[in-house]
Every structure is written in C-alpha cells, then in structure tokens.
C-alpha cells in the first residue's frame, strides 16, 4: 500500500491478490481528503477492485431515530441498505469511478450499489435483518462471492487480530465472523494520520 495508509493482516491471502473488495468505512467519509485517500488505496495494487461504501453518518441517523422510536428490524434494515445506496452514489461521484449493481471484473475499480446487489435473488445474498448486520458483513459476502481478498478500511486500527474478538469489540458487526467464513484473505487499512500504536 502507499504512504497514506497503514495496513495489516487479519487473515493472510491464500493466493496472489488479483481481486479485492474494499469496505470503505462510512466514518472515513467525514475526512476532508477522503476521495484522495480512497483513490490512493484503490491504486495501490493491480487487479480489479470493488468498493463497498459504509453508511456512515447517514445510517447513524437511522440508528438514532430507531433508538428514539423503535421500528421493526426489517424496516430499519431495508432503510439502512437504501442509505448505503446514497453513500455509494456519493463515493462514485467524488472519485469518478463507475457505480454498478454487479461487479463483473472487467473494470479495474468500481463502486458497488449494495442495495441493487442484494436485491438480486440469490440464497447466498440473504442477510439477517437488524443492527447486527452492517456494511462489514455485506462487503464480506461480496468478497466471498468474488473469491476476493477483503480490505477493511476504517478510521481506527483493529484492537485484536481475530474476527470473533473484533465483533465482540464492535470493530466489525456481530454477523461478520459468519459472513467472512471461507474468505481467501482479510486485510485492514487505516489512514496513517489516524493510526495509533
């Protein structure tokens, strides 16, 4: 990777990295230089890259609304997925990368509209409804389907190096250990100016 990112390994890739899925954490969208940061991360390796943008402050607003006046889990889950469509459109517009509903591997880098991707009928794309499932698990499912290495780009370093411990600490969602089963590799990336320790 480049000087903008500090990178580590949660699960070593089992083969050379030819396809990557970058889960670009929504909290990173509040950094003034986030488009340049993301393009730097995308350009740091060869092969195809699919970006799954987290919901960030948009989904945080939905969480706050749900905490104040709880709604059915299925309703809030669907709204959170739609909010990811908003952040995906923002990421595509800010970076100039194509927004797609299906990553096909032809382009070097694309931004995935997760709402469109999840809408396609497939038993492998079924998720439990609730706040225990976030863009972390969605990105893991995309990476699993593409047999790609997953890169978790977040604002803070992982406090431990195993998925169960990261889920318990809240660094990834509670469903992530299940969603990431069988992934060929998992890396983490944190902006250098945010990395500690």
Q: Could you list the pLDDT tens digit for every one of the 197 residues in the chain?
A: 446 888 888 888 877 667 899 999 989 999 989 999 999 999 877 778 999 999 888 888 888 888 898 898 888 888 888 999 999 999 999 999 999 988 876 668 999 999 998 888 665 667 777 677 788 999 999 998 888 999 999 999 999 988 889 999 989 988 899 889 888 899 999 998 865 54
Give the bridge partners for 50, in sequence order: 21, 110
In angstroms, what CA-CA distances link 42 with 1, 47, 151, 166, 176? 9, 10, 10, 24, 23
Query: For residue 52, which phi and psi values (nearest 5 degrees)?
Result: -110, 110
Six-digit token string for 149: 């290495």
Cβ neighbours around 185 below 10 Å, total: 18
* β-bridge pairing 99-100 and 149-153: unpaired
In this prediction the pTM is 0.89
Task: For residue 67, give Cα distances in angstroms to 62, 76, 135, 163, 164.
Answer: 9, 11, 19, 27, 26
What is the CATH number that goes with domain 5-191?
A: 3.40.1160.10
């Amino acid at each position: 990777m480049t000087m903008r990112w500090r990178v580590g390994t949660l699960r070593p890739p089992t083969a050379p990295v030819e396809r990557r899925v970058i889960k670009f954490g929504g909290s990173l969208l509040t950094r003034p230089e986030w488009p340049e940061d993301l393009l730097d991360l995308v350009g740091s390796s060869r092969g195809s890259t699919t970006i799954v943008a987290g919901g960030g402050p948009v989904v945080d607003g939905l969480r706050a609304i749900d905490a104040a006046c709880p709604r059915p889990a299925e309703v809030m889950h669907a709204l959170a997925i739609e909010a990811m469509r908003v952040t995906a459109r923002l990421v595509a517009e800010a970076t100039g990368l194509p927004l797609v509903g299906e990553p096909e591997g032809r382009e070097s880098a694309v931004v995935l509209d997760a709402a469109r991707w999840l809408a396609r009928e497939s038993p492998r794309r079924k998720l439990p409804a609730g706040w225990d499932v976030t863009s972390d698990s969605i990105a893991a499912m995309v990476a699993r389907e593409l047999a790609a290495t997953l890169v978790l780009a977040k604002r803070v370093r992982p406090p431990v190096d195993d998925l169960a411990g990261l889920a318990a600490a809240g660094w990834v969602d509670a469903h992530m250990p299940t969603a990431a089963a069988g992934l060929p590799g998992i890396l983490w990336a944190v902006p250098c100016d945010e990395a500690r320790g």
